[in-house]
Amino acid sequence: MDLIEILHPDAVRNTQSVGSKKRLFQDLAAMSAQNYGISPEAAVEALLERENLGPTGVGRGVALPHARLENLDRIVGCFIKLDRPIDFDAVDRQPVDLVFALFAPLSSGVEHLKALALVSRTLRDPGVCLKLRNNEDPSTLLAILLEGPASVAA
């Protein structure tokens, strides 16, 4: 599985005015509706339900909110780079400015976990995060995400 299979080019955005986690989830839901036909109400509800189980802020300014939804036939994602970090109850208590949301079918099981691991590996790379933070253009952000972490030759 590659990010190109999950992430529609128009589901990558640089945004300026998100003041809360709930507002961010509304923006992610709107993106998922526009790009994947997902019900925005269902997306917000599912993201909030998952977040109530435990925060998805994984540290170093990165959050990976995710949810399973009915009426979805494949795993899809949305990425938002925030100009101003927001509180996300992250594990390191740092505000979040890089957000990659995943939406998966209810029956996705292992595929959902593989997608989450792929996104996590990508955004755990300090070089990827630095490049994302230093760029504004959505097409450049997409290219950085698709390029992924630099591989190290053995």
- What positions carry a catalytic annotation? 66
Each as own residue / partner, the long-range contacts of residues 48-53 (CB below 8 Å, 24 or more positions apart, any chain) are 48/22, 51/21, 51/25
One-letter amino acid at 67 equals: A
Rounded distance between C-alpha atoms, residue 104 and residue 108, angstroms: 6
Do 81 and 132 contact (CB within 8 A), yes or no?
yes
Rounded distance between C-alpha atoms, residue 12 and residue 36, angstroms: 13
Do 119 and 131 contact (CB within 8 A), yes or no?
no
